[in-house]
């Protein structure tokens, strides 16, 4: 009997059966052998495991699971079991003490988009890449680039009109993308289609954050893979131009672009590295900035103190029109506390993901080889370390924080490679916004968790020139 002869209801039933039959295999790990006791497993009545509950509100879900199971437990997420840890002690153990027993462990569906050559997920490649990035992403290179990042920031911020309603996230990602691309290949490239890069990366980002990554042309995941191919072609062409120029001073990434020999990277690896740095850098940094403006708009005391710091800095400089330098950034101590408090309250990612390369024992439990591990940031909101943890209070960083309880960029050998870049770019952009404009969110209220955790709608806000300020 032909399929078209079946009733529509029966066809739907048959399709559902075909989709559901493989589900029992999703969490089956038959044939695995390891010695030791597994952490307690989350109890879920859903055939999808914990995925749906996690997806609806990941932060509340993780809070609930921590209260239920403590410092280590197993979740069933996205078709696999993941061991989750929730304490600073566990974070130090896995990220620092036994880091060689783990590698980066994002879902394969994500790394297929964001790190196709395995520059960070392959342990050997990771060591080589981090060594190559040590100079271009190190303090010296990044701090020398502050005047450039300041000029690029102003090229957008100075176009804002008094009384205009802007989408904060869109404006911040425009700035951070320009700065990331400048980091990669130097001078602003008028021929580069910034809007095109942003459009492609937006599709990639949405495709990375779907419950079930199905590779079909009309799905978000399929569109993300297509966007990845398109932007890779663009990056390969740009790399070809850079190599042809042979200008070692062309950009701070020249040590990577012109690397060769056994310590060098192939063109495919360099293009993949550029893809990863763009993807991991500009939208996450933009999201942090949006949260900064959100928290400040709700905390007048913190905003007033921040404005005083930046007004004093502006008044002490010969001309507010001259680019900022590292000496200026060092005079922003309260700004750095605002950034730290924002990172504590609004983590850009939910876990620091790892995959075990061998069986590892921790407090009577085993993390078996090839299992996923998620080091959660839940302890950033632990009242034992941060009194009144849900309150935005930058002054809590007036005193040194106990080592290991605040690690927004990770820790150990696999700490975020963009740590210095982010810590420089954030205060530069904040200075230019806060010293010139007041801002007022226009709604809607609430947050959204996907594709990134941020204020709902990207935080539409009205900007007004502050008294005595002009462009």
Rounded to the nearest 5 degrees, what angle is found at the Cα of 275, between the Cα atoms of 269 and 281?
Answer: 130
Return the pLDDT at 39: 95
Assigned token pair, 452: 């990134």
pTM of the predicted model, to two decimals?
A: 0.88
> Mean pLDDT highest for which of 29-33, 367-371, 444-448?
367-371
More confident residue, 58 or 318: 58
Mark the binding-site residues for heme, compressed into ranges.
Answer: 416
pLDDT at 52 over 80: yes
Among 19, 53, 39, residue whose Cα is nearest residue 81: 39
pLDDT at 278 over 90: no
Going from N- to C-terminal start, the domains of the chain cover 29-465
CATH superfamily label, 29-465: Cytochrome P450 (1.10.630.10)
Q: How far apart are CA 360 and CA 36, in angstroms?
A: 9
Of the chain, the percentage scoring pLDDT greater than 70 comes to 86
Return the pLDDT at 358: 93
- Tell me, letter by letter, the H, E, C secondary structure of the chain: CCHHHCCHHHHHHHHHHHHHCCHHHHCCCCCCCCCCECCCECCCCCCCCCHHHHHHCHHHHHHHHHHHHCCEEEEEECCEEEEEECCHHHHHHHHHHCHHHEEECCCHHHHHHHCCCCCCCCHHHHHHHHHHHCCCCCHHHHHHCHHHHHHHHHHHHCCCCCCCEEEHHHHHHHHHHHHHHHHHHCCCCCCCCHHHHHHHHHHHHHHHCCCCCCCCCCCHHHHHHHHHHHHHHHHHHHHHHHHHHCCCCCCCCHHHHCCCHHHCCCHHHHHHHHHHHHHHHHHHHHHHHHHHHHHHHCCHHHHHHHHHHHHHHHHHCCCCCCCCCHHHHCCCHHHHHHHHHHHHHCCCCCEEEEEECCCEEECCEEECCCCEEEEECHHHHCCCCCCCCCCCCHHHHHCCCCCCCCCCCCCHHHCCCCHHHHHHHHHHHHHHHHCCEEEEECCCCCEECCCCCEEHHHCEEEEEECCCCCC
pLDDT band, residue 33 (cuts 50/70/90): low
Taking each helix axis as running N to C, give the angle between helix 267-297 and helix 220-245, from 0 to 180 degrees, rounded to the nearest 10. Answer: 120
If one counts every other C-beta atom within 10 angstroms of the C-beta of residue 290, the result is: 24
Return the pLDDT at 446: 85
pLDDT at 31 over 70: no
Q: pLDDT by residue (tens digit) across 364-379?
A: 999 999 999 999 999 9
Look over the chain and give the mean of its residue pLDDT values, rounded to a whole number.
85
Mean pLDDT value of segment 339-348: 94
Q: pLDDT by residue (tens digit) across 105-157?
A: 788 888 888 888 888 888 888 888 888 888 888 899 899 999 999 999 999 99
Return the pLDDT at 5: 53
Q: How far apart are CA 285 and CA 146, in angstroms?
A: 16
Q: pLDDT by residue (tens digit) across 240-270?
A: 877 777 655 556 567 777 666 566 788 888 8
Q: How far apart are CA 425 and CA 147, in angstroms?
A: 10
Q: pLDDT by residue (tens digit) across 409-442?
A: 988 888 888 999 999 999 999 999 999 999 999 9
Mark the binding-site residues, compressed into ranges.
Answer: 416
pLDDT at 3 over 50: no
Among 85, 13, 82, 18, residue whose Cα is nearest residue 44: 82
> Mean pLDDT highest for which of 40-44, 78-82, 201-205, 396-400?
396-400
């Amino acid at each position: 009997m032909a399929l078209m002869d079946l009733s529509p209801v029966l066809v739907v039933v048959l399709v559902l059966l075909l989709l559901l039959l493989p589900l029992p295999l999703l969490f089956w790990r038959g044939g695995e052998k390891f010695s030791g006791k597994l952490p307690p497993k989350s109890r879920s009545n859903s055939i999808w495991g914990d995925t749906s509950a996690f997806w609806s509100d990941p932060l509340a879900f993780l809070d609930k699971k921590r209260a239920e199971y403590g410092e280590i437990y197993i979740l069933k997420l996205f078709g696999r079991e993941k061991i989750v840890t929730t304490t600073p002690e566990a974070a130090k153990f896995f990220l620092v003490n036994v880091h060689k027993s783990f590698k980066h462990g994002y879902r394969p569906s994500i790394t297929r988009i964001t790190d196709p050559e395995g520059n960070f997920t392959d342990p050997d490649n990771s060591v080589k890449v981090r060594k190559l990035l040590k100079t271009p992403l190190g303090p010296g290179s990044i701090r020398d680039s502050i005047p450039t990042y300041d000029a690029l920031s102003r090229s957008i911020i100075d176009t804002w009109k008094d009384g205009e309603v802007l989408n904060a996230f869109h404006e911040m990602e425009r700035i951070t993308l320009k700065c990331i691309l400048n980091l990669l290949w130097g001078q602003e490239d008028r021929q580069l289609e910034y809007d095109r890069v942003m459009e492609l990366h937006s599709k990639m980002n949405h495709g990375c954050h779907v419950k079930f990554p199905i590779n079909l042309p009309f799905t978000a995941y399929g569109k993300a893979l297509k966007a990845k191919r398109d932007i890779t072609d663009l990056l390969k062409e740009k790399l070809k131009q850079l190599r042809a120029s042979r200008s070692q001073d062309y950009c701070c990434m020249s040590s990577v672009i012109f690397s060769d020999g056994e310590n060098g990277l192939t063109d495919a690896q360099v293009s993949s590295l550029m893809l990863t740095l763009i993807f991991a850098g500009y939208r996450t940094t933009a999201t942090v900035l949006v949260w900064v403006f959100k928290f400040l708009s709700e905390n007048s005391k913190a905003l007033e103190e921040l404005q005083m710091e930046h007004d004093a800095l502006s008044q002490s400089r010969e001309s507010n029109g001259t680019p900022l330098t590292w000496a200026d950034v060092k005079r922003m101590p309260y700004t750095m506390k605002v950034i730290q408090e924002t990172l504590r309250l609004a983590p850009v990612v939910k876990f620091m993901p790892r995959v075990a390369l061998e069986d590892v024992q921790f407090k009577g439990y085993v993390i078996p080889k090839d299992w996923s591990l998620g080091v959660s940031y839940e302890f950033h909101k632990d009242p034992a370390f941060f009194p009144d943890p849900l309150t935005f209070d930058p002054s809590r960083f007036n005193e040194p924080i106990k080592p290991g309880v605040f690690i927004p960029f990770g820790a150990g050998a696999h700490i975020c490679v963009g740590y210095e870049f982010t810590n420089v770019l954030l205060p530069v952009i904040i200075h230019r916004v806060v010293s010139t404009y007041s801002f007022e969110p226009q709604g809607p209220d609430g947050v959204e968790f996907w594709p990134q955790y941020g204020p709902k709608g990207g935080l539409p806000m009205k900007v007004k020139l502050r008294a005595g300020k002009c462009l």
